[in-house]
Amino acid sequence: MYFSNKQVQEFKQASPLREKTRYWRNRLPLLGILLAVGGISAACTPMVGPVTTTSTTIPSTTPEQPNILTFATSGNIGSSPALVTFSWTASDANGDPLTCKIDGNGDGTDDVTIRNCEFGGSRNVSVVLDDPAVAQTFTARLIVEDANTPAVVRTTDFDLQPGPTEPFNITLRGASSLPLAAQPAFNGAAARWEQILTAGVEDFGEVPTSCIPAGTEPIASVDDIVIDVSVVPIDGVNGILGQAG
């Protein structure tokens, strides 16, 4: 077979195109494999988003002493004898239950013991002057313990003033007119209450007539209380109540 010069030239010009086509035909499978591997890699790579952190407070495992945050008196203390209110707050790093003891006058004797006092609170303690006529400064103590470590102590000072020195007096008006059998009972009751109410109050001036029973004498002053006494039959006519069965 013979080819003309023109046909030979056309064949030469077409050969590079076939070579290029063969080149890409051989490499397309490899390119497809690379793209597939890249897709798998992208699909298996985890997404990285915002990181959330949490914190947990764990009680200390090393035994620690309790901590007394506050200890003080509250309210008006007044004069002796006084009911003093003590308030406190405390905590424990190990979360142990606490026991609180209050020595109200600082004499070394616990006046009040409170179990599970870790949340704070208040208690009343009666305090009396050593000398009823002399003011005194007391140092109260709060002792807190958790059974695992030595107790901790905190103090607070407060002043106490003398109370009234005048005794409490009871006057029975009309006692002398009572039947003799009744007089010891009335006088004995008045004397007993004078012992219980140990401190008198300031005397009261003349009592208005509207405040005293009709037909009785005026009262010039009251020290500290005046009681009108009398014995009135309550059996009714002909002793009818006494006959009731």
* Under 8 Å between Cβ of 118 and 97: yes
* CATH class of this structure's domain 67-160: mainly beta
pLDDT of residue 153: 98
Q: How many other CB atoms sit within 10 Å of the CB of residue 203?
A: 11
What is the predicted pLDDT for the residue at 95? 92
Which ranges in the chain are annotated with CATH 2.60.40.10?
67-160
Decide if pLDDT at 36 tops 80: no
Better-scored residue on pLDDT, 215 or 91? 91
* 174-198 per-position pLDDT tens digit: 777 888 888 888 888 888 887 777 6
Residues in the chain: 245
The predicted pLDDT at position 140 comes to: 97
Tokens of 125: 């303690």
Direct distance between the N- and C-terminal alpha carbons of the chain, in angstroms, rounded to an integer: 164
pLDDT tens figures, 146-160:
989 999 999 999 999
Dump pLDDT digits (tens) for 83-133.
999 999 999 999 999 999 999 999 999 999 999 998 899 999 999 999 988
The phi, psi pair for 209, rounded to 5°, reads -60, -25
What is the pTM (predicted TM-score) of this model?
Answer: 0.48
Distance CA 103, CA 45 (A): 70
Q: Could you tell me the pLDDT band of residue 224, with boundaries at 50, 70 and 90?
A: confident
Q: Classify residue 197 by its DSSP letter.
A: S
Q: List the one residue out of 158, 211, 217, 168 whose CA is nearest residue 190.
A: 168
